[in-house]
Amino acid sequence: MTDRGDARQPNAPDRGPQPTKGPNCWDCRHLMITWDVRKPYGCKLMGFKSKIIPSIEVLRTDGRYCGGFSAKTRPLSNQAPAQRPTQSVGNPSMRRDSDLSRPLISINLIT
């Protein structure tokens, strides 16, 4: 008798583990938003515009998940934050020194 511990068929090519979901185009550096109202999304890598998100269009057309996904570069979070000035720059405007007891004058700009 043969050992049935391996569930693969003998003639099926071994393609490795299949992904359970496709790439997210919103995280891909090749996604572009076009000015065309009829085809608002596009892929810079594959050079096409589409009515739907490009990864769905590739899956629908080719039958496979998009192989050109490349993650966007994220800014480094370990960079030192901008330092605030240690000395006071003074009061550049006189807003805080204005007299609140004076009447408020409204100006009508519509002529």
Say how far apart CA 49 and CA 47 lie, in whole Å.
Answer: 7
DSSP secondary structure letter of residue 20:
S
Other CB atoms within a 10 A radius of the CB of residue 54 amount to: 25
SS3 71: strand
pTM higher than the cut 0.85: no
Dump pLDDT digits (tens) for 77-111: 666 666 665 666 665 555 555 666 777 677 777 76
pLDDT of 3 > 90? The answer is: no
The beta-carbon contacts of 49-53 under 8 Å, at least 24 apart in sequence, are: 53/25
DSSP secondary structure string for all residues of 24-58: -GGGBTTEEE-S-SSS-EEETTTTEEESS-HHHHH
The answer to whether residues 36 and 49 touch, using CB atoms and an 8 Å cutoff, is: yes
pLDDT of residue 108: 74
